[in-house]
Each structure stands twice: as C-alpha cells, then as structure tokens.
Amino acid sequence: MTSRAGERGKPVAGLPSRPPVPYRLKRIFREPTRRQPRFPPNRSLWVTKSALAETPLNAKAEASVPAASDRRHALAAMFRVVRGETERRAAPLTPEDQVVQSMPDASPAKWHRAHTTWFFEQFVLVPHLEDYRVFHPDYAYLFNSYYVSAGPRHARAARGLLTRPGAAEVTAYRRHVDAAVERLLATADEALLERLAPLMEVGFNHEQQHQELMLTDILHAFGQNPIPPAYDPAWAPPRTTASAGFATLAEGIHTVGHAGAGFHYDNETPAHRALVGPVRIARALVTNAEWLDFMADGGYATPTLWLMDGFARASDEGWEAPGHWRKVDGEWRIMTLGGLQPVDPAAPVCHVSYYEADAFARWRGAHLPTEMEWEVAARAGLIDDAFGIVWQWTRSAYAPYPGYRAAPGALGEYNGKFMVNQYVLRGASLATPEGHSRTTYRNFFYPHHRWQFSGLRLASYDD
C-alpha cells in the first residue's frame, strides 16, 4: 500500500500530530526507486498476508544493513513512529468505543492495540531480553490471533466480550513493552541488532496493518449506531486527481510481482513474466454519481447483472446501496470518519463488495481489470488515484504466483492457506498508514466484504 507522488496512504485530518521521522532515519531507510516503505534496503523478507492475516514467527532476511550505531538509531526511531501512530489513531476513541466488536470480521480497537504489543513482547522481548518479565501471564492467550504455533487463543468472534483488561490497562501494557524494547535496542550488541532488525521490521509492518484495521473496524461499529458518531468531526476526504477516459495498454510481456530491494510480503513473489493486454483501463475511479445512476437503473434488482452468489447475498441482506450508505429524509448519506455526511457525487464510490463491483462493471458493458493489468498500468503512471483513496477490486482470484512456495512454519500456515475463495484488491486506501503501500501489494478479501475502504476502476477489451 504506497503513494509515490500519489501512492501514499493519506493521514487522517484532525488527529493529534504525528511524531516526525528523524532526518537520519529517513536517510538510512531511503529506497532507491519511487516512493517505497521506509525500511532498510536490500532485504527480502518472507511475511504473511495483508490486512487480515498476521506475520510469521520465523521470518528470515538477507540484510544489507547500516552500521550498528545507525541501525540502532533507525530501529528505535521507527519503533517510536509506528507505535505513536497507533496511539494517535486511538486518541479520539473513548474506553467504551475501544471495546465494541460490531461483527466477527472486525476487532475492538483495544484488542488491536494489545495484539500489536503482544507481537513485540512475544517475538522480540521474550527471546532476546534476558531479564524481561511478561506484563501479564494471560495476555498471550487473550491477544494471540492466528499463531497456532504460539499457543491457544481466545476466539476471534468473541473479542468484543473482553471487557477486561480495560483501555487504560492496555495503555500500561503498551508502555511496559515499549520501554523494554527501547532498553533492548539501547543495550544490544552488533550481532543481536543484526538478528533483531528483521523481526522489528516485521513488527512495524504488522502494526501498520492493524492501524488500518482500527479505522475500518471502528467506522463499521459507529455505522451501527442509530445516532451516528464522528470518529473525527474535522475529517475530510482526500482529494482526487482523476483524469477522464481510458489509458491503453498494448499487448506485451511484463514482469509482475516484487523484485529487488525493499520490504514485501511473500504473496508478492516470485516476480514472474505475464502477458498483459491489449486492454484499456480507466484513469479514474468509479464515482458516487455513476453509482447513483446504477442504482436508479435498478442495478441492485437486476439478476442478469450479478453473479449468482452475489445476487443471493444482496437479496438476503437487503443491499440497495453501498455499505455505510443510508437514506435520510429521502436523500442518500454516507457514514464517514467525520460522521454521517451527504453523498458527494464527485467522490469515488467506497465500501462496495466484489459482487457489487462486478455487477456495476457488467452494467457499464465493461470489466474489472486483472491485478496484472492494474500493476502494469500503475507502474507506468497511467492511472490516477491508485493509492490513498480506496482499495480497488480486481477480477483476479487470490492465488499463488507461479513458483510460489509457502515458507515453513507459521508463515506457511498463515499466508498460503488463505489463497482460495478470495479476490485481490490493489492500491491503498485513505486509512492506509504512510509508508505501507507499494505497486506490488496484494490485498485480498472475500467477495461479499464491503466494510473496507474498497472501490473500483473499470477496464475494457473493446477497440
């Protein structure tokens, strides 16, 4: 999830200011290519799925790293930035907000804060800080997620029942672990820093995943409230820079997937050659105005536009508009991070499922692009608002790239096994943290999911 020039996740307006990244950290973590996550270069890191899955226990790295003093400073500085961003996003929430779980796919904000802390405690502190004592012996059970190898876990769908520990106790937990990590980094010798660097990097990216989920999950929870609250009353949607029309991709063989330096997830590899095109891909995202036309033309009630499973889901759940839309006094409004607001016709449509996106494309006599087409077009700078607005559905099933092999241990369990029955989304959304996006990033969800910041752009194979 990135933004080179426009491939970066936008910050949320109105929140407490983000702690600056020290200049020295920026220099050490600089990537040689267009804007990429700011982590040490020349490292190939095998980690897990985006968004809903977790990071591995046994990530390995081939690292070309700065000198020990630079590495120590860089790791500590980035640790503070990432941990501070989680708290910045939690700051507008009350203790009551932080305990609610509005559906099984979501998690309470308090749980996200504690789970990301447990990661550093479990995989960084316990194995590497000799005199470290865990904050609470039961927290590993409460805040483990998908790591079967790490022991038993509390049921995901019941996380909202955890009224204890409270939000204040989770804050104390975070401070305890943060102080211990700072002490570990300050006292580690060069050999230990070498071992810690890839673990810390996984932890940074893992926490950034949960920062995005904190906003998607709390927005869904607020959307269930009959008197819709605002996460941030000063929030404003990110600006779009869309151009009209379609860009043409001639037929050609292109390398897709992550290759070379920089942090990446294992599902982005191996880089491989793929035949792409000829295809025309929309420069702009589909807008609310276009979606309102689809609705007015009976799009939700026309079975010939829909996949069978999609029409059944839409009928059973009474879909007549995107997620988070509701009609007030005869006018459509949308639940946003700034509260309930009028639907802006010019804004990109958001909170639509794959089923809805596919039906809309069929209504327009078009298609969704494949993820390969999207990646090639984005890399060539042919599409606008690729990052930082909405995730974009593709018509590509989430499957392994040719030659993909699941890593041994936890990684193999928590990435490869998700490669079925889901679809790939590309880009990044307004909730994606800065520095956590890139052209090769493969997000994925089930086709009925629409609580994420998900939208679409169109593709055409007509001359």
Whether residue 412 has pLDDT greater than 90: no
Specify whether the CB–CB gap between 132 and 124 falls below 8 A.
Answer: no
The percentage of the chain sitting over the pLDDT mark of 70, rounded to a whole number, equals 82
Determine the pLDDT at residue 62.
31
Mean residue pLDDT across the chain: 85
Whether residue 238 has pLDDT greater than 80: yes
List the single range of 75-89, 147-161, 345-359, 363-377 with lowest mean pLDDT: 147-161
Q: What is the mean pLDDT of residues 424-440?
A: 96
Whether residue 230 has pLDDT greater than 50: yes
Fold designation for 246-460: paralog of FGE (formylglycine-generating enzyme) (3.90.1580)
List, by residue range, all CATH 1.20.120 domains of the chain: 23-223
Determine the pLDDT at residue 68.
67
From residue 40, alpha-carbon distances to 29, 45, 224, 312 in Å are 5, 11, 42, 47
Whether residue 139 has pLDDT greater than 60: yes
Determine the pLDDT at residue 156.
82
Q: How many CB atoms lie within 10 A of CB 69?
A: 10
Token duo for residue 246: 């379609």
Q: What is the mean pLDDT of residues 156-182?
A: 95
Q: What is the mean pLDDT of residues 21-36?
A: 32
From residue 316, alpha-carbon distances to 96, 262, 320, 397 in Å are 31, 44, 11, 24
Q: What is the mean pLDDT of residues 204-220?
A: 96
Whether residue 329 has pLDDT greater than 90: yes
List the single range of 16-25, 63-72, 133-142, 398-407 with lowest mean pLDDT: 16-25
Distance separating alpha carbons of residues 62 and 71, to the nearest angstrom: 15
Whether residue 4 has pLDDT greater than 90: no
List, by residue range, all CATH 3.90.1580.10 domains of the chain: 246-460
Q: What is the mean pLDDT of residues 74-86?
A: 97
Specify whether the CB–CB gap between 284 and 242 falls below 8 A.
Answer: yes
Greater pLDDT, 443 or 10: 443
The percentage of the chain sitting over the pLDDT mark of 90, rounded to a whole number, equals 72
Q: What is the mean pLDDT of residues 386-397?
A: 98
The H or E element containing residue 282 is: strand 279-282
Determine the pLDDT at residue 352.
98
Determine the pLDDT at residue 148.
57
Token duo for residue 98: 């932080």
Whether residue 56 has pLDDT greater than 90: no
Greater pLDDT, 34 or 177: 177
Specify whether the CB–CB gap between 373 and 281 falls below 8 A.
Answer: yes
Determine the pLDDT at residue 130.
93
- Which of the listed CATH numbers 3.10.450, 3.30.1490, 1.25.40, 1.20.120 matches domain 23-223? 1.20.120
Greater pLDDT, 361 or 69: 361
List the single range of 26-40, 177-191, 315-329 with lowest mean pLDDT: 26-40
